[in-house]
């Protein structure tokens, strides 16, 4: 969807247009629910979180700014934030275990025999695989594990500054890859 269309959709949603909101739900429910399920690991919790995400989209529609990114990105950021808040509310995160460090980056990706993956998912997979292992580890532990940089630093016996740099350099490398491949900047939501 072009930026102007996305802006128009969200103006309609902000003004209370239930039809526009229903269409937005139809086009984004699978990806929102899928991310909730991946992060929270349980269908009931994912359903609750997804419902809250859509309520936040409804309430916050006026705050969507197409100049700051695509609608898909905006909704996924809300989804991710909601799930992380719920993970954190479950109590202190379990300490990062050595096996998590090896397993998480791969378990963050669906197995080969999983249902058809989108071209965009394939591209992100390739982009992530191209990162230096320590950068990939920092990013995936943060994004999919919900671990804070301090927790990662503690587990890896690294200075916090090193973890910050790794996450930032990894993210910048990911961004360069995505731009070179022409994806990510403006997906369909």
Partner 1 sequence: MAMHERILDDAPAYLLGELDAGARATVEAHLATCTQCRAEFAQLGEALASLANLAPEAEPPDRLRAAVMAAAEREGPALAIPLVTPSRARRQVDWGRWIPAVVAAAAAVAFAVQASAAAARVRTAEAAYHRVLAANGLLQGQLAAAQRGIALSLLQLEPTSSQTSAVASLAVASDADGGRVALVARGLQPLEGREVYQLWYLNGGAPVSAGVLQISGTTGHLQASLRPGARVDAAAISREPQPGDTEPKGPIILETA
User: Nearest distance from residue 97's CB to partner 1, in Å?
Assistant: 20
Which of 72, 161, 82, 88 has the alpha carbon at shortest distance from 124? 72
Binder of partner 1 out of 1, 3, 47, 100 (CB under 8 A): 47
Write each residue from 57 to 96 as x if it is in contact with partner 1 (CB under 8 A), else as -, in one continuous string: -xxxxxx-x-xxxx-xx--xx-xxx--xx-----------
Residue 131 contacts partner 1 per CB under 8 A: no
Give the nearest distance from C-beta 142 to partner 1 in angstroms: 6
* Contact between 50 and 33 (Cβ < 8 Å): yes
* Minimum CB distance to partner 1 smaller for 134 or for 164: 164
- CA-CA distance, 35 to 29, in Å (whole number)? 10
HEC letters along 112-175? CCCCCCCHHHHHHHHHHHHCCHHHHHHHHHHHCCCCCHHHHHHHHCCCHHHHHHHHHHHHHHHH
x/- string (CB under 8 A) for partner 1, residues 90-129? ------------------xxx---xx-xx-xx--xx-xx-
User: How many residues bind to partner 1 according to rule CB under 8 A?
Assistant: 80
Closest CA to 186 of 63, 25, 71: 71
Does position 35 bind partner 1 by CB under 8 A?
Answer: yes
Q: Which value, to the nearest 10 degrees, does the dihedral of the CA atoms of residues 179, 133, 145, 82 take?
A: -10
| Per-residue interface string for the shown chain with partner 1, residues 150-189, x marking contact by CB under 8 A | -----------x--xx-xx--xx-xx--xx---xxx----
Shortest Cβ distance from residue 56 to partner 1 (Å)?
10
């Amino acid at each position: 969807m072009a930026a102007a269309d996305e802006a128009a959709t969200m103006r309609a949603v902000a003004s209370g247009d239930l039809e526009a909101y229903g269409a937005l739900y139809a086009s984004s429910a699978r990806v929102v629910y899928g991310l909730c399920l991946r992060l929270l690991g349980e269908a009931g919790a994912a359903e609750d979180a997804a419902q809250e995400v859509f309520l936040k989209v409804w309430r916050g529609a006026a705050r969507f700014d197409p100049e700051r990114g695509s609608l898909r990105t905006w909704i996924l950021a809300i989804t991710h934030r909601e799930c992380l808040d719920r993970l954190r509310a479950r109590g202190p995160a379990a300490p990062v275990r050595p096996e998590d460090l090896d397993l998480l980056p791969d378990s963050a990706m669906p197995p080969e025999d999983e249902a058809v993956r989108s071209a965009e998912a394939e591209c992100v997979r390739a982009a992530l695989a191209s990162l230096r292992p320590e950068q990939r580890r920092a990013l995936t532990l943060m994004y999919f594990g919900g671990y804070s940089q301090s927790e990662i630093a503690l587990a890896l016996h690294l200075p916090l500054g090193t973890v910050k740099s790794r996450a930032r350099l990894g993210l910048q490398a990911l961004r360069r890859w995505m731009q070179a491949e022409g994806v990510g900047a403006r997906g369909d939501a």
